[in-house]
Homo-oligomer: A and B are copies of this chain.
Amino acid sequence: MRRTSAETKSIILAAARERFAADGYERATIRSIAADAKIDPAMVMRYYGSKEKLFAAAAEFDLRFDALAGVAPEQLGAAFVRHFLRQWEAGESLQVLLRTGITNDGAAERMREIFAGQLAPRIAALTGDPASAPVRAAMVSAQMLGIGLARYILLFPPVVAMSEDDLVSWLGPTIQRYLTADRP
């Protein structure tokens, strides 16, 4: 018994996150994950039961919008952009979700939950307009997912080259408008 079971379990999870983020659901094989973790593929099954369940564990995610409480209303756009960019770079979780959500229905469902369930209520609270919050949340999500796609997945050179401040300058007013402008 070299390691405790909890240790190996988290080693596997870390390797899984990396592989899912880099390769997507289908190409991230259990064997490759196990190889990264320097562990027998059978252990992955022992601890997580199946590839689906391992993925579910790897895709746990919290956007942590509570960090945005107390921001002045006219600076919400810029604050949102900065927060999202940091979330993209903090861990592989968002990239896992985006890479897999496109071929895996379960991941797409989770994505809908996260953006509708975590973002919309926050927007409702911050703007005081619950009725339009779902649409605003969807527009903000679409813009920020598009940027994440261009910058971290498709690697569009101009977007990769931009600094965080550049991106905030471009995107801040857009998000601000989606959050607070009158409904068209």
Q: How many residues of A contact B (CB 8 A)?
A: 45
A178 to B115 alpha-carbon distance, docked (Å): 25
A184 to chain B, nearest CB (A): 3
Residues of B within 8 A of A143 (CB): 142-143, 146, 174
A contact set with B: CB distance below 8 Å: 23-24, 26-27, 98-99, 101-103, 108, 111-112, 115-116, 134-135, 137-139, 141-147, 149-151, 153-159, 162, 166, 169-170, 173-174, 177-178, 184
Given contacts A102-B98, A155-B108, A158-B138, contact A149 B150 (CB under 8 A): no
Which residue on chain B has the smallest CB distance to residue A174?
B174
A181 to B159 alpha-carbon distance, docked (Å): 17
Residues of B within 8 A of A98 (CB): 102
Which residue on chain B has the smallest CB distance to residue A158?
B138
